[in-house]
Chains A and B, each alone.
Chain A
Amino acid sequence: MCNNLYKPDLMEIIQVQRQTPDVKSVRVRFRDPARARAFSFRVGQFGIFSVFGAGESTFNICSSSNWKDYIEFCFRRTGRVTEALWRLERGDTIGFRGPYGNGYPVEAWEGKNLIFIGGGIAMPPIRCAVWYVLENREKYGNVTIVYGARKVADLTFASELDEWSRHARVRVIRTVDPGGETPDWKGEVGLIPHIVERSQISAANSVALVIGPPIMIKYTMPVLDRIGLRDEDIYTSLENRMKCGVGKCGRCNAGHVYVCTDGPVFTMQQLRSIPNDF
């Protein structure tokens, strides 16, 4: 078959980092140098990664689009493909298709204050945007990052959170669920919606990117409404199950919207106009 849509590029794993007891981040680069040179993506886009013999899985590209030598993704060990990924190490080969999806409207966000709210494994898709913004610092206003996990050990990219908090005009709020704290925990304790409410975040000239489990998003939305953010200024990234990534296999749609090609990034205003099928 010529121009086989489903044939991936080969990528070499150049680094694996254990983020939490069941989450790893992986740094990969194209085996074909020409493909590496030609490749570009937008933060917020995703790739379909594969372990040959185990199959494919969809992950956000969690590195900044300014980084040219490699891309990164992050996964939780939770099924057939991610179990196989868990066993891979430096030098191994994986497959990659992409980039797919629309990505974040980072141009439209210029001049705005940015509020990033993430829960658990949702840090990677926020991380790419945070780095992108910090690398184009003069174009963006204040940055507030609220990141929560069930327990301290479940926080991904913990050292980068520290690094971001040292940047000017960046506020990092970390929280863990009640009972998830350790004796030396210096962050907040509480669920994301409560922490957002308590943190006196200004909605003035702001957009928010909220990613996490459906239940977290559901209870965070009324809080953002109360602090004065409009639905068209709140973005999220959907995670519907996908196979093809190109609008053909028929499973990722929510109503007439295909998450793979129309999304995965939507505003809350857009989501309110489609059926609750995600």
Chain B
Amino acid sequence: MSAIIHESGLRTLIDGWLASGKLVAAPVEVSGRVLYQRLKSSGEAILESRERPANSIKQFLFPRHQALFRYRLNGKQVELVDSADDTREQIIVAARPCDAASLPVLDHIFNCDCKDAGFDEARQRTTVIALACNSHDEACFCTSVGLGPSSEAGADALLVDLGDSEFEVRVLTDKGRKLFEGRTEPGTREAPALEGPPRKFDAGAVRQFLANGFDNPLWGEESVGCLGCGVCTYTCPVCHCFDMVDEGNAAGGERVRNWDSCQFQMFTQHASGHNPRATQSQRQRQRIYHKFSIYPERFGALLCTGCGNCARNCPAGLGVLRLLEKIDSRVRQQHV
């Protein structure tokens, strides 16, 4: 027996959550493209896994602009005030498995040894309802990074589309149980076996290449088209680099954290002018190394969920997949 919920029942649930003051986010159509956004009503939510949202769910836990604290200037004295936290419960509905999987990955960064309070608190008040994925495009490669269309990583519940506006509800955590308890009906319909994208490269081969590939000419050759715009990092579910700046006036202001990107020249430039990553190829190399060597070495997992956003959003037709396929084929041809 499985637990079933009808789409209309799910939308009623969402409206109930909204009415009780919870924040609810889901894929929404915005000017012809699909983006994860906070909902005003359940009618906006796209509860089928057609087009992959062009952004990711990280913004709901790691906002692109976040106040860290406020400062008040008073002559020679300064007063620091904690920023008010948003304590509202938050539910993300119909997250793609490649987005839900970003949360345990980000935990290693923000919730390891010293906890990042902002992320940690958002994580605790957030419940993720993933939607198993039954559409993939040529940019998708979740199956090459150890995930798949019905991966449960990072999700509190997983919905599987049964057709006829019905979903199987697989409850995965207590948080998920709380949302669906008493809201589903028993059913016997079998969820279809979902097929993910074909495997496109071998992550092990990529790591093997990276072990000695730092000075390989490939980086220069393959990064020529990169404009350095950073869209790959902003739309990536797991890219998490940030900048900290002060915003205010003569009376006071806030120290804020903003998303940053390893693809920008100023990211690593020293005050002296020296820049360890002065060229775009060095910055592309850093991104691949971070995802497939540095992070795995530190935390034993990949810093990539295979969502393909970097390729889909790239104005120059790049993205990590293209590079990884090149690396994979070089390893196969022993042309390392």
User: Interface on A for B, CB 8 Å cutoff?
Assistant: 1-8, 10, 50, 52-57, 76, 78-79, 82, 91-93, 95, 213-214, 239-241, 243-244, 246-256, 275, 277-278
Contact with A along B285-307 (1 / 0, CB 8 A): 01001100110011000000000
The docked-state distance in angstroms from the alpha carbon of A26 to that of B240 is 34
CB distance from B154 to the nearest CB of A (A): 19
A53 contacts B244, CB within 8 Å?
Answer: no
Say yes or no: A7-B294 contact (C-beta < 8 A), given A53-B248, A93-B76, A277-B286.
no
**A3 near B117: Cβ-Cβ < 8 Å:** yes
Given A4-B69, A53-B73, A249-B242, do A240 and B82 touch, yes or no (CB 8 Å)?
no
Interface-facing stretch out of B93-101, B165-173, B271-279: B271-279
Is there a chain A Cβ closer than 8 Å to B115's Cβ?
Answer: yes
Give bound CA distance, A254 to B294, whole Å: 10
Can you list 29 contacts pairing A with B, beta carbon distance less than 8 Å?
A1-B82, A1-B83, A1-B117, A4-B68, A5-B115, A6-B69, A6-B244, A7-B69, A8-B80, A50-B255, A52-B246, A52-B248, A52-B252, A52-B253, A78-B272, A79-B271, A91-B76, A93-B76, A240-B270, A241-B269, A243-B244, A247-B113, A248-B240, A249-B243, A250-B241, A251-B267, A256-B293, A256-B294, A277-B276
Output the nearest chain B residue to A239 by Cβ-Cβ distance.
B270
Which residues on the B side are within 8 Å of A241 (C-beta)?
A: 267-270
B 205-237 binary contact with A (CB < 8 Å = 1; else 0):
000000000100000000000000000000000
The answer on a CB contact under 8 Å between B121 and A1 is yes
CB distance from A76 to the nearest CB of B (A): 7
Interfacial chain A residues near B271, Cβ < 8 Å: 57, 76, 78-79, 82
Q: Chain A contacts of B159 at CB under 8 A?
A: none
Q: Interface size on B (CB < 8 Å)?
A: 53
Nearest CB of chain B from residue A102's CB, rounded to whole Å: 14
In this complex, the member of A2, A244, A248 whose beta carbon has the largest number of chain B beta carbons within 10 angstroms is: A248
B276 to chain A, nearest CB (A): 5
Nearest B-chain residue to A243, judged by Cβ: B244
A3 to chain B, nearest CB (A): 6
Q: Is B118 an interface residue (CB 8 A)?
A: yes
CB contact list, B283-336 vs A, under 8 A:
286, 289-290, 293-294, 297-298
Assembly CA distance A254 to B286 (angstroms): 9
Whether the pair B77, A93 counts as a contact (CB closer than 8 A) is yes
Contact of B194 with A by CB under 8 A:
no
Q: Which residues of B contact A55 (CB under 8 A)?
A: 244-246, 255
Question: Which A residue's beta carbon lies closest to that of B294?
Answer: A256
Tell me if B114 and A249 are in contact (CB < 8 A): no
Interface assignment of B109: CB less than 8 Å from any CB of chain A: yes
Residues from chain B with Cβ under 8 Å of A95 in the complex: 78, 80
Which residue of B is nearest A8, CB measured?
A: B80
Distance in angstroms between the alpha carbons of A277 and B215 in the assembled complex: 11
- Asked if B116 is an interface residue, CB under 8 A from chain A, the answer is yes
Q: Is the beta-carbon distance between A248 and B244 smaller than 8 angstroms?
A: no
CA A5 to CA B121, docked complex, whole Å: 13
B257 at the interface (CB under 8 A from A): yes
B17 on the interface (CB 8 Å rule)?
A: no
Residue of A2, A76, A275 near B214 (CB, 8 A) is A275
Q: Report the bound CA distance from A79 to B82 in whole Å.
A: 28
Is B180 at the interface (CB under 8 A from chain A)?
Answer: no
Contacts A241-B268, A255-B294: A214 and B242 contacting too (C-beta < 8 A)?
no
CB atoms of B78 and A93 under 8 A apart: yes
The yes or no answer to B4 lying at the interface (CB within 8 A) is no
| A277–B279 CA distance with the chains assembled, in angstroms | 12
**Complex contact A213–B78 (CB within 8 A):** no
B253 touches A255 (CB 8 A): no
